[in-house]
Amino acid sequence: MKPASRRVLLLPERRRFRGHPLAEDLARALGRADRLPPTDPGERAQLLRHFELLPRGWPMAALMRQHAAGDARGATWLRADPGFVRAEMMGARLMAWGDLGLSEADADQLMAPLRPLFGDAGFLLSRTRAEHWYLQLPAEARLPAFSPPADALGGQLLAHLPEGDEARRWRQLGNEAQILLHNHPLNARRAEAGRPPVNTLWFWGGGRLPDAVRAPWRAVIGADDELAALAAAAGVTAHVAEAGGVLVDLRRVRDPAQLEAALREALASLRQRHAELVLDFADGEALACTTAQRWRLLRAPLRGLDD
């Protein structure tokens, strides 16, 4: 991580824009950019390029709980979010997470029969939002490696379930929670209304609050909850006018026209506020742009972001 006057754009995987040629001005500018050495793919690796956690790990449940409620210290935390799993001939898939349209009252109704289940195991189930559910565990609790829901969405469930001795208990708890949710009257009402049932809990982000989170950014711009929690832990201002080193989250952009407008505005910032612009893609590829590159007149234009 460099603490210079840089602007870094966090971008989706380049394949998201496959087949969309760049506008001529952008093709020329990005064709002159420097390709940085490839790094690890995935959104977790992407964020870890810009935030340093001590000790190392990815305890997003604790970080997000601390950001939302300020009470994460002294315990191990695990997200236990409501989701929708669709059964298939060859298994099951996680089809929805975080966007099931639950109200606060819906969440409270669904959680009521689940609290005794987790309470008997010594865990406290609570929430900060209708679809942000947490389990508070003893500080010394050991957890298996859980897959983030964003990685599991649309994929075969078995490929994303935890493995090993420590995972058996969580598979059993997950199965018992599924039975309680399957029999919940709220899901019957959702089915009558043509809405998907809330039939599973997705465990993820387990761990304790880090001792420290460090980042070189003066500001972070974006609405992502994980990014906001990391910025808060690092003492970085979020959602403000930019000056100095700035990290801008564009990972949810899917419209090529919207992305091109953002790239144009970012390239213009090189002449106004920043010495370097870095395009950091979730697949591990990256481009670095500076004003001096305008003299690379013989460089071929970049035909597309996946070029």
Q: How far is the C-alpha of 270 from the C-alpha of 167, rounded, in Å? A: 49
Q: Which residue has better confidence, 169 or 2?
A: 169
| Partners of 8 in the β-ladder | 247, 278
- Residue 209 CA: distances (Å) to CA of 63, 67, 212, 236, 285: 6, 11, 8, 17, 30
Query: What's the whole-number mean pLDDT along residues 237-248?
Result: 70
Backbone angles phi, psi at 18, to 5 degrees: -60, 135
Q: Which residue has better confidence, 268 or 50?
A: 50
pTM of the model: 0.91
Q: Say yes or no to pLDDT of 287 above 60.
A: yes
Q: For residue 107, which amino acid is it?
A: A
Highest mean pLDDT pick, 120-134, 215-229, 230-244: 120-134
Residue 2: band (very low, low, confident or very high) from pLDDT cuts 50, 70, 90 = very low
Query: What's the whole-number mean pLDDT along residues 98-107?
Result: 95
Query: What's the whole-number mean pLDDT along residues 198-224?
Result: 94
Rg (Cα) of the chain, in Å, rounded? 22
Query: What's the whole-number mean pLDDT along residues 214-232?
Result: 92
| Partners of 78 in the β-ladder | 135
Q: Say yes or no to pLDDT of 243 above 60.
A: no
285 CB-near residues (< 8 Å, 6+ apart): 14, 35, 36, 38
- Residue 78 CA: distances (Å) to CA of 81, 141, 206, 239: 9, 11, 4, 27
- Residue 38 CA: distances (Å) to CA of 4, 9, 41, 131, 233: 21, 16, 9, 35, 28
Residue 239: band (very low, low, confident or very high) from pLDDT cuts 50, 70, 90 = low
* pLDDT tens per residue across span 147-163: 999 888 898 888 898 88
Q: Say yes or no to pLDDT of 120 above 60.
A: yes
Query: What's the whole-number mean pLDDT along residues 180-209?
Result: 96
